[in-house]
């Protein structure tokens, strides 16, 4: 025996901790709720709830890291699937499916904004209501002031009807009382 006594190690060996974190991850990946996973770890390993929470937290961290690593690959896979779906829908002349696939592709590229999101105004009560045409024009003016290139882009895609000036009667009908 050596003259120097070894101090006992604090905590568990790394392999045991890794096994417990792996078990927590298995429980979470199998669809178990966090509370069920905690209870399972405390029962299986005889650990405290605090220790089980630590293992579950580490498992969540591992899953989050895995998600960050896999996200680009999964996005490419989804894009390829949608492109195949679009092509097969067009070939079958299933226009509804084709439009849905094209819509999903546009959303993936950030090219689509829901019209509903753009055309609502907040109310005093904290809710939302549809914008009037006059409010829509004011909002458009705000956006054009921030980015003048939007107008050139919109004009490229506008139809003749959309470029017509509103009739005076239409403008008067859009006046919003101050209380609204």
Q: Angle of helix 34-45 relative to helix 49-91, nearest 10 degrees?
A: 130
* pLDDT for residue 39: 95
* pLDDT for residue 126: 77
- Torsion sign, CA atoms 125, 131, 137, 142: positive
What angle (nearest 5°) sits at the alpha carbon of residue 135, between those of residues 130 and 140?
A: 110
* pLDDT for residue 177: 52
* pLDDT for residue 77: 93
E strand or H helix at 129: strand 128-130
* pLDDT for residue 42: 96
Q: Which residues of 168-178 are buried (b: 16+ CB within 10 A; e: fewer)?
A: eeeeeeeeeee
* pLDDT for residue 114: 55
Query: Which residues of the chain register pLDDT less than 70?
Result: 1-12, 112-119, 154-180
In the structure encoding, which two tokens stand for residue 45, read together?
A: 């390993």
* pLDDT for residue 7: 45
* pLDDT for residue 118: 57
In this prediction the pTM is 0.43
């Amino acid at each position: 025996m050596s003259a120097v006594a070894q101090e006992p190690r604090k905590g568990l060996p790394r392999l045991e901790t890794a096994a417990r974190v792996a078990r927590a991850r298995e429980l979470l990946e199998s669809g178990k709720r966090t509370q069920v996973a905690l209870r399972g770890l405390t029962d299986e390993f005889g650990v405290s709830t605090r220790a089980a929470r630590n293992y579950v937290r580490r498992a969540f961290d591992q899953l989050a890291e895995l998600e960050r690593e896999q996200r680009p690959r999964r996005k490419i896979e989804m894009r390829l699937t949608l492109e195949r779906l679009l092509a097969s829908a067009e070939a079958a002349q299933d226009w509804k499916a084709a439009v849905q696939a094209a819509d999903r592709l546009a959303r993936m590229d950030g090219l689509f904004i829901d019209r509903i999101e753009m055309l609502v105004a907040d109310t005093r009560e904290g809710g939302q209501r549809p914008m009037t045409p006059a409010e829509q024009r004011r909002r458009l003016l705000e956006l054009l002031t921030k980015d003048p290139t939007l107008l050139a882009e919109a004009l490229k895609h506008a139809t003749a009807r959309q470029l017509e000036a509103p009739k005076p009667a239409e403008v008067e009908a859009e006046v919003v009382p101050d209380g609204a």
